[in-house]
Amino acid sequence: MSAKHPHVGVNDANVTQVTSVDQSGRKVPINLRQSGRTPVEMLISTRVRKSPYWHLAHQAGCWRATVYNRMYHPRGYVRPEDGGAMVEYDALVNHVTMWNVAVERQIQVKGPDAEAFVNYVITRDATRIKPMHGKYVILCNEAGGILNDPVLLRISEDEFWFSLSDSDLELWMRGVNIAKGFDVTIAEIDVAPVQIQGPKSEDLMADLFGEAVREIPYYGLMAGQVAGRDVIISQTGFTGEKGYEIYLRDATRYAEDMWNTVLEVGKKHQLMVIAPAHHRRIAAGILSWGQDIDMETLPFQCNLAYQVPRNKAADYIGKQALEAARARLEAGDPPFHLKMVGLTFGGLPITDYAPDFWLVAERGADEAVGYISSPWYSPELETNIALAWVPVNRTEVGTALEVWLPDEYTQGLPGNRVNAEVVSVPFRPSVNPNAREVASTKGLDYAE
């Protein structure tokens, strides 16, 4: 694809894969065709699961969705003509919001060997996670690629819940245990979470669960009830704002009870039902599996090195490959061609999801060398921001690059090119710093 015409229509015969970006280390390259927006109607059928909250999200105004973990996932409540996703962003950063995130399927590992099994499949040290606490973790394959980056909840000494990102982990873990024979059961359970996110979330949660909820530490858990239905609460979320997740037990039966009670109690706090706030999670440097990372991504490529301990004595899947990769990296011979960075860049404000992995090039160059995986506009910084993949030798903060944008964001700029610059991640401070931010602040490159 010519750099002089980087953005072409979906019906144009020149929509081809970009070969100038070095993806030689991947078995399945990222599809970098710039096909643009291709509106189609999503078929709602029994082929994909409806979560217990699906109809409630529709009642709340959901007008578009995607598929995540083989479930329909709401991705928009405010229509573009009414302000779109940036109205939802305002509600998140100024008030309080509820998200239907039942797509975070819960895989329970329970039994006498639960701790030992979990310790074998995650890179971090599971023995350091106390009951009624959680951690952000990664699971890697034998080559060190990231299979999933869930929040791991330890409900009791012998019970863990994996709150999954967008890849199926249950079958993989069952397969692991066929060979290893740990004394555990592994199964999805009827638990469906919602997220309560925003500066007023603590007050709303205190109204629902009492003042004790204010004492939950970050990644701490608490048992409670909503409308008489049992839940687990965690102080976690997919933003840098103060937030919580409510995990409803027996969700298929009791979804309406919990959802409607939260809506009613939330009225005085200006609660708004919104889609997951990718605009805010990008600013916090939170990754989206399948969009920013996948099973061919090493933790060292995306600032997740702190998830790979130097001092974990126990064996775990991917340990040998990860230690070898780190040794190569420290010897100045990185085992990959591209690495993730933060970018700020020009053009009109990006106020909706990008339909393609937009291309990144050297200033004035004829060929792309990288791509953006997650772009959005930051009202606080008054600029577009993105997580992007660029060559290892172009990752230094301050590096000048260029982003090739579609027509809708460039107002006819020559070649649709806008200036970009590599910047530090996170892009702005968070009220609730995520694990990556904490590690960066402490200068850590391993999991504590």
Q: Write out the binding residues.
A: 245
User: In angstroms, how far is CA 204 from the centroid of its own chain?
Assistant: 24
Burial class, 9, CB count within 10 angstroms (exposed 0-12 / middle 13-18 / buried 19+) = middle
E strands present in 292-433: 338-345, 359-362, 368-378, 383-391, 400-404, 417-423
What angle, 0 to 180 degrees and rounded to 10, lies between the N-to-C axes of helices 170-180 and 114-121?
110
The candidate with the shortest Cα–Cα distance to 88, out of 71, 105, 63, 67, is 63
Q: What is the rounded distance in angstroms from the CA atom of residue 250 to the CA atom of residue 255?
A: 8
CB 432 within 8 A of CB 237: yes
Q: How far apart are CA 200 and CA 97, in angstroms?
A: 9
Contact 33, 11 (CB under 8 A): no
CA distance 385 to 219: 27
Residues in the annotated binding site for substrate: 245
| Cα–Cα distance, 202 to 11 (Å, whole number) | 50
- Rounded to whole angstroms, how far apart are CA atoms 79 and 273? 13
Q: How far apart are the first and last CA of the chain?
A: 45
CA-based nearest residue to 152, from 137, 173, 132, 174: 137
Are 196 and 248 in contact, with CB atoms under 8 Å apart? Answer: no
> Which of the 8 DSSP states describes residue 238?
S
